[in-house]
Amino acid sequence: MTFHLAADTRIAWFVIVVTTVLFAYLVRLNQLLTKTPDEVRKMSPTRWSEKLLRETYERIETNPITTKSYLHNIPKKLERRYIVTGGSGECSSSIPALPNYPTLAPPPLDIPPHLAIRRG
């Protein structure tokens, strides 16, 4: 009977030690992730402040960003066509289908047979 009690005590101490070490690790990790390292602060010394955000908001309110304001930065249109294919659909497939909920899937494309890619 004494042997089982000693084994139970060892297991209890093991669980206590592992839990304490894990808790200490998580507390330290939280401390590290809640502040910006000095190396990063040196690379970007300017911090966002409430004043800067308000000034930027007011500037954009009075002088909004429109297509005309950056049209000169857009490259000239080329006579090229691209077919853009999507990813795995992981994002939209995880959204549950709700009644009266608009679907996120684009409508199917009707590609003429002479433009379709033939395989094989």
Q: Is residue 7 part of a domain?
A: yes
In a domain, 99, yes or no: no
* Mean pLDDT in residue range 89-97: 56
**Could you list the residue range(s) of the whole structural domain that residue 8 is in?**
1-70
Q: The pTM is what?
A: 0.36
Indicate the pLDDT class of residue 16, thresholds 50, 70 and 90: very high
18 in Cβ contact with 10 (< 8 Å): no
Calculate what percentage of the chain has a pLDDT beyond 70: 63
The dihedral sign for the CA sequence 6, 8, 11, 16: negative
Res. 115 pLDDT band, cuts 50 70 90: low
Domain tally, the chain: 1
In this structure, are residues 104 and 95 in contact, taking their beta carbons and an 8 Å threshold? yes
Residue type, 46: T
